[in-house]
């Protein structure tokens, strides 16, 4: 069964659905980061314009995903109250934000290209998990 179509999920509070999606995405991105590191991708990245890279430690993928999820859920809750079509608007806002989030890894200083690409893919994986689930939950509000 597809998680986005689970009646139990769609009937939960928006914040809880967002939190569940964030936890799921955090687990997936954290495992992805661990596998990438084990496969030989350098696990060091610099901030934008940094002269030196810092280690990417265990938990950083999950933490970054949860922080982004928090702000995505805030956006979703605001749209649920104020947008005439919150699901559609949520997708139209969050997809460009996900694409914009790629600027960080791509502009990271003192960072291997393989690491930049791996980090970009992590951003896209998280977005591909969270955005559809939250959008489906928002659409369910209008269906009631």
Q: Which pLDDT score, from 0 to 100, does residue 4 have?
A: 46
The pLDDT value recorded for residue 13 is: 95
For residue 115, the number of C-alpha atoms closer than 13 Å in the C-beta half-sphere is 20
CA 119 centroid distance within chain = 12
Beta strands in 2-93 (DSSP E): 44-45, 54-55
What does the domain layout of the chain look like in residue ranges? 3-143
Residue 2 banded pLDDT, cuts 50, 70, 90: low
Q: Give the predicted TM-score (pTM) of the model.
A: 0.90
Kindly tell me if the per-residue pLDDT of 50 is higher than 50: yes
User: Tens of pLDDT along 128-138?
Assistant: 999 999 999 99
pLDDT tens by residue, 57-82: 999 999 999 999 999 999 999 999 99
């Amino acid at each position: 069964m597809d998680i986005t179509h689970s009646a139990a999920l769609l009937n939960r509070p928006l914040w809880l659905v967002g939190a569940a999606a964030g936890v799921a995405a955090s687990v997936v991105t954290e495992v992805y980061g661990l596998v990438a590191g084990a496969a030989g991708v350098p696990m060091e990245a610099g901030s934008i314009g940094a002269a030196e890279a810092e280690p990417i430690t265990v938990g950083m993928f999950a933490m970054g995903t949860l922080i982004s999820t928090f702000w995505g859920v805030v956006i979703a809750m605001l749209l649920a109250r104020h947008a005439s079509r919150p699901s559609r608007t949520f997708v139209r806002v969050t997809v460009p934000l996900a694409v914009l989030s790629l600027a960080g890894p791509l502009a990271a200083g003192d960072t291997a290209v393989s690491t930049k690409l791996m980090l970009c893919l992590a951003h896209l994986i998280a977005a591909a998990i969270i955005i559809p689930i939250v959008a489906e939950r928002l659409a369910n509000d209008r269906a009631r």
